[in-house]
Chains A and B, each alone.
Chain A
Amino acid sequence: MNCAECRENLVACVEGLLAAGQNRECLAHLGTCAACRAEHATIARLQRQLVARGQAVAEMSIVEPVMRRVRAVQETEPESNSFMKLLLKNRWGFGLGAAASAAAIILIVLLTSSKAQATAVEVMEKGAKAVAKLTSIHLRGQLRTLPADNFSYINPDCDFVTIELWKQFEPELRWRVEKPGRVVAMDGESTVFFIKPPANIATKLPHPTPGGAFDTAWLDRIANLSNTITNELKNALAKGWKLSLSEETGADGRSKSVVTVMAKSGVPDNDYVKNAFMEAADTRRVYRFDAQSELLESVQIYLVRPSGEVQIFDLSQIDYNQSIDTNVWRLDLPADVGWAQLPENLPALPDNEKYASMTAEQAARAFFEACARKDWDEAGKFMSPVNASLKDYLGGLEIVSLGESFTSETYSGRFVPYEIKLPAQEFNVRVSNTNSAKRCVLTGFYDSKLQLQQDFKWSTEPEVLTNNDAYAKLSPAEAVKAYFAAQSKLDWVEMRKFTSEFDVEETKKQVEMAEKHGMDVHKQMPVVETGETTWSPEQSAWFVKCRMFQVKKWNLAVRKDNPAGRW
């Protein structure tokens, strides 16, 4: 396909109307031609804007109210009357007619709503002025998320995790955002993002950023309070969000002004990422200002779902203008950190055409196949960096199936459904019978080098069972086998005979979360084979060698909006 043919087909391509063969040709051309690719991106952007506009007004209809007013005007007024007269009489007519009470209610709602909004705006404006000349800000809050996942990832089923932001405005701009598994810091010269071990991956923007880089924008918006208010107002204007105001007395006995914003993401309900990220979530945001000092004191964000609201963020600590230690802006990275290449710097390969012409599904297959044969150079063409933990995790995998890719409103790439058999993972289980029940129980998981990975945190002695003797006869390896058999059947009572309450509860939580995400838990439960047992005199315990086989079924995110035009 040449440029002219490609451009003629671009809209049909964006609309998903091309036949499979034609679509492949079009995508192949896009992979090789930067000008057509730019044209494609522009059309896709315009289409997204139009779709968003249409969706925002999908439910509205004013045909009937307009036609009622049109009829009323026609019936009561001669043509020569001015519009204002018509309108006045029309409204007066409503007042006298059967619709009087309904009209009055509408009017009251309108006035109350406008007044409440204007006052809410006023409170936020004053709040912005109160912090107009900040030298620094420090925010500390709790977010329902996974410790090492994206900064804006939210999941109401997760526990709260601490998230913190430091930002220095004067004398020089510096900032840092951190959660337990990842951190990003801007030291005035560059912006470094680090996913902590075991991932141990870092990436660097070789220039300062004003804030919000690497998925931290939603938190940065709160730090830049005056911008927050402007943005909230702009969004409220554009999308019809509601602002409201209430007064309350705080725990400190002082009066507080509470502004509530009902924010809609505009992301369709059936979108894959809906409510999984701050930007894709419908939320109720509560800003609490001290009425006297006018300073923002706290922010709560609630996820609004058809099933009800759940609090996902609680910002309870805001420190204004405090001196921040300069060490905060510096990250001490491990020597063996893997440096990830940024997509915007992705170079073209000598045989770039081959990769640029792939479909999302072909790219996913090529990546998994490279991992299957441990061809890390090839795998590295699709993912950066390929570090030791990734090699351990995916090296030698087996592809079960790959599905048809799909898109999301908020992600400019595609998601490819996949099912793979992960390579066997070797690990050890520590088993001890130095307890009053004299039974073999599991106390923790260790890696192949006997480094502790997970402690089962026994807090009480194992109980003496009614049929304790039968269990006391089991060897360490048999106990481990029985433990995994019970786990795979989700038989918590049986599992509890071999492990701590902590381990049972943790496993239950993981299973519940996986089920909520629609995973087939029974199918994805790991299969574990036991190997030799070794006695450790230092630890007074056995170590049972194990091999775990696991199936993983999920969606691979891929994108090709980079200079090389490949996935």
Chain B
Amino acid sequence: MNLTDQEYVERCRDGHPEDFRLLVDRYQKPLFSFLAGRFRDRLQTEEAAQESFVRAFLSLKKLRKPESFYSWLLGIAGRVAKEQFRALERRQRDREAAETVLANTADHAEDYPLEEAITVLPESHRQVILLRYYEGLSCQETATRLGLPLGTVTKTLSRAYALLRQELQARERAEQTVNQTQ
């Protein structure tokens, strides 16, 4: 079964919570990669990723645009990460060490906007990128999985690359403007 995000969200809301598994399967890797840029510990990353999905599941009814599930999920993950840092800060007897962790985390997060940039892709493009790179399928395997001709997959990839580059450049410009203002 290969439905759109919106269809899966609606099925979960309509009494098929087990279908949430398909959304977890679809987005666990980019989410993990997104969070790995914020934690230095794999266990912490995994904990934050699980927490983000559980929260997303519990809030599914509040999701206004089911087609934007992935970008909404990243928003939740960002908040979970912040909460975990605060908890870490409280746990640290030495505040300085915690500040180092936070400072480095902030620096690092700026280097890793790829998963965020992927949120701007139309869903069809995003699926191709995720299957090809995060699931490690070849272009032919991606085409077979999605039931598309190979040529459509390569054209979709081309367009996805162009959009990703535009988005990354826009983010870079925005960051420069902020730095100049500061």
Interface residues of A (CB under 8 A from B): 8, 10-12, 15, 17, 42-43, 46-47, 49-51, 53-58, 60-63, 65-67, 69-71, 73-74, 83, 86-87, 106, 109-111, 113-115, 117-119, 121-122, 125, 230, 233-234, 236-243
Complexed CA–CA distance, A69 and B20 (Å): 12
Complexed CA–CA distance, A50 and B107 (Å): 20
Query: What is the CB-to-nearest-CB distance from A289 to chain B, in angstroms, rounded to a whole number?
Result: 15
Chain A residues near B50: list those with CB within 8 A.
Answer: 62, 65-66, 69
Partner of B33, one of A57, A67, A117, A122: A57
Chain B residues near A241: list those with CB within 8 A.
Answer: 40
**Chain B 88-127 interface 0/1 with A at a Cβ cutoff of 8 Å (1 = within):** 1001101011101100110110011011000000000000
* Interface residues in B2-55 (C-beta closer than 8 Å to A): 17-18, 20-21, 24-25, 28-30, 32-33, 36-47, 49-50, 53-55
Chain B residues near A106: list those with CB within 8 A.
Answer: 43
Chain A residues near B17: list those with CB within 8 A.
Answer: 70-71, 74
Which A-chain residue is minimally distant from B28 (CB atoms)? A62
Chain A residues near B18: list those with CB within 8 A.
Answer: 67
Query: What is the CB-to-nearest-CB distance from A168 to chain B, in angstroms, rounded to a whole number?
Result: 28
Chain A residues near B30: list those with CB within 8 A.
Answer: 53
Query: What is the CB-to-nearest-CB distance from A58 to chain B, in angstroms, rounded to a whole number?
Result: 6
Q: 20 pairs across A/B with beta carbons < 8 Å?
A: A50-B132, A54-B136, A55-B136, A56-B33, A62-B46, A66-B24, A70-B53, A73-B57, A74-B17, A83-B59, A114-B44, A114-B88, A119-B97, A121-B101, A233-B104, A234-B104, A237-B37, A237-B39, A238-B36, A242-B41
Complexed CA–CA distance, A488 and B41 (Å): 53
Given A62-B28, A65-B50, A69-B54, answer yes or no on A50-B157 (Cβ-Cβ < 8 Å).
no
Which A-chain residue is minimally distant from B88 (CB atoms)? A114
Complexed CA–CA distance, A240 and B42 (Å): 5
Complexed CA–CA distance, A240 and B96 (Å): 22
Query: What is the CB-to-nearest-CB distance from B163 to chain A, in angstroms, rounded to a whole number?
Result: 11
Complexed CA–CA distance, A118 and B105 (Å): 13
Inter-subunit contact A50/B40 (CB<8 Å): no
Query: What is the CB-to-nearest-CB distance from A354 to chain B, in angstroms, rounded to a whole number?
Result: 30
Query: What is the CB-to-nearest-CB distance from B22 to chain A, in angstroms, rounded to a whole number?
Result: 9
Inter-subunit contact B40/A240 (CB<8 Å): yes
Which A-chain residue is minimally distant from B51 (CB atoms)? A87
B134 within 8 Å of A by Cβ? yes
Query: What is the CB-to-nearest-CB distance from A8 to chain B, in angstroms, rounded to a whole number?
Result: 7
Which B-chain residue is minimally distant from A234 (CB atoms)? B108
Given A122-B94, A237-B37, answer yes or no on A54-B20 (Cβ-Cβ < 8 Å).
no
Complexed CA–CA distance, A138 and B154 (Å): 53
Inter-subunit contact A125/B97 (CB<8 Å): yes
Interface residues of B (CB under 8 A from A): 17-18, 20-21, 24-25, 28-30, 32-33, 36-47, 49-50, 53-55, 57-59, 88, 91-92, 94, 96-98, 100-101, 104-105, 107-108, 111-112, 114-115, 129, 132-136, 139, 150, 154, 157-158, 161, 164-165
Which B-chain residue is minimally distant from A58 (CB atoms)? B136
Inter-subunit contact A234/B107 (CB<8 Å): yes
Chain A residues near B32: list those with CB within 8 A.
Answer: 57, 60, 62
Given A66-B50, A118-B92, A238-B108, answer yes or no on A56-B36 (Cβ-Cβ < 8 Å).
yes
Query: What is the CB-to-nearest-CB distance from B172 to chain A, in angstroms, rounded to a whole number?
Result: 13
Complexed CA–CA distance, A452 and B115 (Å): 62
Complexed CA–CA distance, A11 and B94 (Å): 50
Inter-subunit contact A46/B154 (CB<8 Å): no
Which B-chain residue is minimally distant from A116 (CB atoms)? B41
Inter-subunit contact A114/B154 (CB<8 Å): no
Inter-subunit contact A125/B100 (CB<8 Å): yes
Inter-subunit contact B54/A66 (CB<8 Å): yes
Complexed CA–CA distance, A66 and B139 (Å): 29
Given A46-B165, A70-B57, A83-B55, answer yes or no on A57-B134 (Cβ-Cβ < 8 Å).
yes
Query: What is the CB-to-nearest-CB distance from B117 to chain A, in angstroms, rounded to a whole number?
Result: 10
Which B-chain residue is minimally distant from A49 (CB atoms)? B114
Given A53-B133, A54-B134, A239-B36, answer yes or no on A118-B28 (Cβ-Cβ < 8 Å).
no
Complexed CA–CA distance, A109 and B107 (Å): 27
Chain B residues near A125: list those with CB within 8 A.
Answer: 96-97, 100
Query: What is the CB-to-nearest-CB distance from B119 to chain A, in angstroms, rounded to a whole number?
Result: 15
Query: What is the CB-to-nearest-CB distance from B158 to chain A, in angstroms, rounded to a whole number?
Result: 4
Which B-chain residue is minimally distant from A124 (CB atoms)? B100
Chain B residues near A43: list those with CB within 8 A.
Answer: 161
Complexed CA–CA distance, A109 and B20 (Å): 29
Question: In the complex, given contacts A57-B32, A60-B46, A118-B98, what are 13 additional A-B residue pairs having Cβ atoms less than 8 angstroms apart?
Answer: A15-B139, A15-B154, A50-B133, A51-B133, A57-B29, A73-B58, A125-B97, A230-B104, A234-B108, A240-B36, A240-B42, A241-B40, A243-B40
Chain A residues near B136: list those with CB within 8 A.
Answer: 54-55, 58
